[in-house]
Amino acid sequence: MYNGYKTEEYVSFDYERILIMNNISHKQDDWLIEIDFSQLMDIRVDYAFKLIFGTGDTLLLISLLNAIFANKKIPRIIKSLTVINPYLEKYSKEDKLSVLDIRAQLDDGTTILVEMHLYDLDDLKYKTVRSWARTYGEELNASESYSTQPPVICITFTNGSMDEGETQKIHKCCKIMDIDDKVVFSNAMELHYIDMKTFVKTINETDSIGKGETIETMLSNWLALITEKDIEDKNIIKNICKKQEEIGMAVSTLVRLSKDKVMRQAYQRRQDDLLLQQQKDRRFMEMEVEIEKLRKENEELRAGKTS
């Protein structure tokens, strides 16, 4: 079903066409020097993320997905895909309406769900599994066998680690596995969590891409662009653009979109919504801590009265 992963295989990119479409100088180094990164939209805001990877040409999304799979040496190379309806079907009135950032289908029927999450990490594991389950439940037709059902792959970009303890992986991949012999039980589920915060921390501490999990791979290159707002040395991004045409394409597209007044206003509204939600979540957590503190104090008072 899948081709084996070979490092020499790439999807071709028409770099000249993208530069012309975005009204950017033919000389790559010239337009890179002129970029004011402070004026660009933050790709971590889901609105901007969908503009770059979920609309129009699918070449950038294909490159990003292939980089993610290659990073874990998963034998899957995408050469074409279709971006489809991001809404997950509600099975009852009580179900929450789920809208994914990007939902794509491969030629073999595999569904890929991609989401950008800056906040609310506490419930993220469960939300991802629920999105997987709802999508997997949609895919099987009445006449088909369970064994022929294509897998569903969830890719989640997070602004924090999904790991507990000191060890924090930048890229975590989870499958259904036999806990005794460590053999994958089924390929139906594949969950990827990519920690942008740990990536940025590592890059800023080393002033380069090339150490540990940030060794210069295509995924590291994409992450450097996605997290560029927090990367201190912007020359890292410019150097990547010179070496990787796909990244240069994404930056040139981002420059054009960031100058569009209508899109800029929509982006700013979404950014405001996210900040407001973050404030609400923080206040809710503070209230929970305060309630727990009062509960313990109340228990101590009761224990003192009965002693």
In tens, the pLDDT along 54-100 reads 886 799 999 999 999 999 999 999 999 999 876 555 444 444 445 57
| Tokens 């059902």 -> residue | 149
Tell me the Cα Rg of the chain.
Answer: 22
- Any bridge partners for residue 191, and if so which? 154, 174
Q: How far apart are CA 292 and CA 76, in angstroms?
A: 48
In tens, the pLDDT along 215-258 reads 778 999 999 999 999 999 988 888 898 888 889 889 989 999 99
What is the sign, positive or negative, of the torsion defined by CA atoms of 62, 65, 69, 70?
positive
Q: How far apart are CA 219 and CA 222, in angstroms?
A: 5
In tens, the pLDDT along 173-202 reads 999 999 898 899 999 999 999 999 999 998
| Side-chain half-sphere CA neighbours of 307 within 13 A | 6
Distant-in-sequence, close-in-space partners of 107: CB < 8 Å, separation ≥ 6? 79, 80, 81
Q: Is the pTM of this model over 0.85?
A: no
Instruction: Output the pLDDT for position 99.
Output: 55
Q: Which two tokens stand for residue 166?
A: 């000191």
Q: Which two tokens stand for residue 98?
A: 């789920």
Q: Count of residues for the chain?
A: 307
Does 267 score more than 70 pLDDT? yes
Is residue 216 within 8 A of residue 202, CB to CB? The reply is no
Mean pLDDT, residues 120-145: 81
pLDDT band at 132 (very low <50, low <70, confident <90, very high): very high
- DSSP three-state, residue 166: coil
Instruction: Output the pLDDT for position 155.
Output: 96
Helix spans in 98-244 (H) = 124-139, 196-206, 218-226, 235-243
| Tokens 């088909």 -> residue | 144
Does 205 score more than 60 pLDDT? yes
Q: How far apart are CA 273 and CA 269, in angstroms?
A: 6
